[in-house]
Chains A and B, each alone.
Chain A
Amino acid sequence: MSDLFVALTPANLLACFVGTVLGTIVGVLPGLGPAGAMALVLPLTIKLGPTAGLIMLAGIYYGAMYGGSTTSILVNVPGEAASVVTTIDGYRLARKGRAGAALAIAAIASFVAGTFSVVALQVAAPLVARAALAFGPAEYFALGLLGLVLLANLTGRSRAKSLAMVLLGVMLATVGMDPLGGAVRFTFDLAGAQAGLSFVAVTTGLFGVAEVLASMTEPEAASAVARVKFRELYPSREELRRSVPPMLRGTVLGFLVGLMPGPAATIASFVSYGVEKKVSKHRAELGSGAIEGVAGPEAANNAAAGGGMIPLLSLGLPFTPSTAVLLSGMLLMSVTPGPFLLRDHPRVFWGVIGSFYVGNVMLLLLNLPLVGLFARIATIPPRYLMPAVLVLCAVAAYSDNNNIFDVWVMVAAGIAGWAMRALDFSPAPLVLGLVLGPMLERSLLQALTIARGDIGGLWASWPAAGMLVAAALASVAPAVSALVRRMSRRAV
């Protein structure tokens, strides 16, 4: 527990500061999202060592959640997907002259939710980790499978497309050395592919290069930004009072949604908005500039970002692209997240959690006075920003293994990612398939070996059987509900 204060050493404070500032900038900029930005700075963070490096990566992760709301409110352009909902009421509040209040409420809601989720994380992560100590290969296989099925259900508009992307990710993960026997697969005699496809190269390609290519077909964002003066940032007492209930509802909802695989922060913000539309006292005003429409979703997306850390830290399973990058960062720094993280690297574990507290305070202090500056960053024209992103992607991909092959992988992933976007395929499930693939393969093969080839060994224990049943239910549930809907429509 005393390791919590590791976050307060000057080096770690600086790492946290740089991370949160970078994250806010990334959140503000439309285009580059947190996962791509984290992959970009991976080579830099590795030099910092595990604790400071992970603190910086985590800072980018939740800093982006803060920053995303700024441009939603001021420019009507969401910096990232999780703050799309905030544009609805946030921008209308800005047009009514309440931009300052909306920004302040967004920052406060983010702070409250972020702090709550860290407390919950601090309590829950060790408990989950302890429970997971009893997990064997069969349980891990079931958990990974359940995660990927839920992910396919929750991501994108088409389940078939998401599932195809998950499988493509798993297939890409089979390139290189196989996790058990040491056989080399699908390398086609390319020396660079022996160690497998570089995760950093694939991520920078899919989320960086592809974004640059896709941005070329989109119209440039409006560059007019409402100016906000510091003294306008105080919300009225009425606005504060109205924000408290949606903030608390959004926090709890967001945290629970954050535990699930998929684009949790985005879903959480939409769910919170939906709940406010049903239960809020001022629900009639939602959509025309109600403060509840900012407070709820902004709390929810931050709480979800915290909730998503629990499966990562205590099970070693990332369920969002951002936490997948965090996982790969940890592995590069020889820190294996999962049940043993707390035992083997207590300073890393508590240091990162401690940095969440520090980061939340920093973000609050940083965001309120500097809101105007961040809003202006959003108006940097893409013709100057995007070329720089390309070079950073190339550096990040190359420096992962100091290998030209990885630059080729990045270029290929970028072009493929651009095509995927055009054809309405989401890259997120692919990245998670790529990360979870080796774990799924290893645990499946180990479970089969332990059960001496008896396939029933996969569901011999209660937890494994329960999770496999849940996965089976989750894969048929959408079809069943569609059938029921069609039948009930016919009955009417």
Chain B
Amino acid sequence: MGRDHWSAAGLALLAIGYLLAGRRYPLDTLATPGPGLVPLVAGVALLAVAIWLFITANRAGLADAATTGGLIEPAPRRAAGRPLVLAAALVIYAAVLPALGFVVSSFALVVVASRLIGAAGWWRPTLLALGVTGVSYLLFARWLGVPLP
């Protein structure tokens, strides 16, 4: 199975899960349609499109392989590691935001992100984090009155 097969399978699972979750909303009649009608139509349509993608994926995959000589490796494995770490950092950021507040969590996020994206040493990322959190705090919390956590 190629990448597109897996995407199609994932989309189909998503559609099935959505349809199952949508079963509890009434369809009612066509004259007085209920809140379940559009979710049903959208879920079935996505399932159909996922099947279509699964069937056509084979052909597209072969065509790709033919033009690139079978060398389709979109991202080297080492490179995909750092975005994954940053994604995890973002999840932690959202989790600690209510407890630590905007300034502290954003400061940490900028330092970590800057290091992950390729900044060397510590003082530059720290300076950057001070600047970014300071300016955004002044701009949004002080000047625009956004009630940041």
Contact = CB atoms under 8 A, between A and B. Distances in A.
A387 B129 contact: yes
A47 B143 CA distance: 10
B91 interface: yes
A174 B38 contact: yes
Given A171-B46, A216-B86, A394-B106, A384 B114 contact: yes
Contacts of A23: none
B130 to A, nearest CB: 12
Contacts of B145: 47
B37 A171 contact: no
B38 A168 contact: no
Given A170-B42, A404-B98, A387 B117 contact: yes
Contacts of B86: 212-213, 216
Contact of B91 (A216, A390, A411): A411
A425 B7 contact: yes
Given A160-B56, A407-B94, A407-B97, A386 B75 contact: no
B49 interface: yes
Contacts of B94: 404, 407-408, 411
Contact of A449 (B33, B75, B106): B33
Contacts, number: 179
Interface residues of B, number: 68
Contact of B140 (A43, A382, A455): A43
Interface in A193-247: 209, 212-217, 220
Contact of B75 (A158, A168, A422, A454): A422
Nearest to A43: B146
Contacts of A387: 109-110, 113-114, 117, 125, 128-129, 132
A100 interface: no
Contact of B35 (A183, A388, A423, A444): A183
A237 B49 CA distance: 54
Contacts of B34: 181, 183
A485 to B, nearest CB: 14
Contact of B49 (A164, A214, A454): A164
A43 B144 contact: yes
B122 interface: no
A186 B22 contact: yes
Contacts of B80: 217
A448 B31 contact: yes
B21 A186 contact: yes
Given A47-B144, A161-B53, A387-B129, A168 B114 contact: no
A133 interface: no
B139 to A, nearest CB: 8
Interface in A75-133: none
B29 interface: yes
A408 B76 CA distance: 28
Nearest to A219: B79
A452 interface: yes
B93 A382 contact: no
A449 B35 contact: no
Given A43-B140, A164-B11, A183 B29 contact: no
B30 to A, nearest CB: 4
A164 B46 CA distance: 6
Nearest to B139: A44
B13 interface: no
Contacts of B39: 171, 174, 185-186
B69 interface: no
A326 B43 CA distance: 28
B148 interface: yes
B78 to A, nearest CB: 10
A392 B42 contact: no
Contacts of B32: 449, 453
A336 interface: no
A3 interface: no
Interface string B98-130: 100010001001100110111100001100110
Nearest to B114: A387
A390 B50 contact: no
A213 B82 CA distance: 9
A164 B53 contact: yes
A414 B114 CA distance: 17
B140 A453 contact: no
A168 B98 CA distance: 30
Nearest to A169: B42
A171 B109 CA distance: 32
B19 to A, nearest CB: 10
Nearest to B12: A164
B93 A167 contact: no
Contacts of A441: 38
B91 to A, nearest CB: 6
7 contacts: A158-B56, A163-B49, A171-B42, A387-B129, A391-B133, A395-B140, A411-B93
Given A171-B46, A411-B87, 9 more contacts: A160-B49, A164-B46, A174-B39, A383-B119, A388-B110, A398-B146, A399-B146, A411-B90, A453-B29
Interface of B: 3-4, 7, 11, 14, 18, 21-22, 25, 29-35, 37-39, 42-43, 45-46, 49-50, 52-53, 56, 60, 74-76, 79-80, 82-83, 86-87, 90-91, 93-94, 97-98, 102, 106, 109-110, 113-114, 116-119, 124-125, 128-129, 132-133, 136, 140, 144-149
Which 6 A-B pairs give the minimum distances between C-beta atoms?
A: A453-B31, A453-B30, A387-B113, A183-B35, A160-B53, A178-B35
Interface of A: 43-44, 47, 158, 160-161, 163-164, 167-168, 170-171, 174, 178, 180-181, 183, 185-186, 209, 212-217, 220, 381-384, 386-388, 390-392, 394-395, 398-399, 402, 404, 407-408, 411, 414-415, 418, 422-425, 440-441, 444-445, 448-449, 452-455
